[in-house]
């Protein structure tokens, strides 16, 4: 039996594949380390997946973020999206291997980031409007794909 979080990543990745069937994807699994503000003690690690959704034919890319539940850590996401895209440009050439095991070069410089960030989550614990405004400050457009909206509001 898989853990619930594993199922979230699998389910949400399938949704991205359905929504963008013509696009290839590159992902990284990252985590937020949640600490107690007073003691600095680590309370929890919250895993999330960030993906580049690449339209090879038209040379543009979106970003997808899969997180089981999103709360106040949303404030870090625009910076993490920018870091991911920057890291991707640096490492894509070194890490591309096709299904046959052959090294394959992918020139990321030709891809234009659309500014669209697709958020796939089961639970949104912060107002969607607040998150969208936060992304807009970084010239990004948040596209929510939320299963259960605003449970705590």
Reported as a single tens digit per residue, the pLDDT across 68-89 is: 999 999 999 999 999 999 988 8
The model's pLDDT over 6-57, given as tens digits with 9 standing for 90+, comes to 578 999 999 999 999 999 998 999 998 877 788 888 877 899 999 999 998 8
Which one, of 76, 71, 48, lies nearest residue 151 by Cα? Answer: 71
The answer to whether residue 131 sits within a structural domain is yes
pLDDT tens for 92-141 read 654 454 555 555 556 666 789 999 999 999 889 999 999 999 999 999 99
Tell me if 153 is assigned to some domain.
Answer: no
Q: Which domain holds residue 32?
A: 4-148
Domains held by the chain: number = 1
Q: How wide is the angle at C-alpha 4 spanned by C-alphas 146 and 142, nearest 5°? A: 20
Nearest Cα to Cα of residue 114 among 38, 44, 63, 70: 63
Interatomic CA distance for residues 5 and 25, integer angstroms: 20
128-136 and 77-95 helices cross at what angle (nearest 10)? 60
């Amino acid at each position: 039996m898989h853990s619930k979080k594993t199922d979230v990543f699998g389910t949400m990745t399938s949704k991205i594949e359905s929504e963008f069937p013509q696009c290839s994807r590159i992902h990284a699994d990252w985590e937020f380390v949640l600490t107690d503000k007073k003691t600095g003690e680590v309370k929890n690690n919250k895993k999330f997946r960030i993906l580049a959704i690449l339209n090879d034919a038209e040379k543009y890319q979106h970003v997808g973020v899969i997180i089981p539940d999103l709360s106040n850590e949303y404030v870090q996401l625009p910076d993490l999206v920018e870091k991911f895209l920057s890291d991707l440009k640096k490492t894509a050439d070194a890490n591309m291997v096709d299904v046959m095991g052959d090294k394959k070069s992918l020139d990321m410089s030709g891809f234009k980031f659309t500014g669209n960030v697709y958020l796939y989550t089961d639970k949104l614990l912060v107002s969607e409007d607040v998150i969208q405004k936060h992304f807009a400050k970084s010239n990004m457009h948040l596209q929510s794909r939320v299963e259960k909206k605003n449970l705590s509001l």
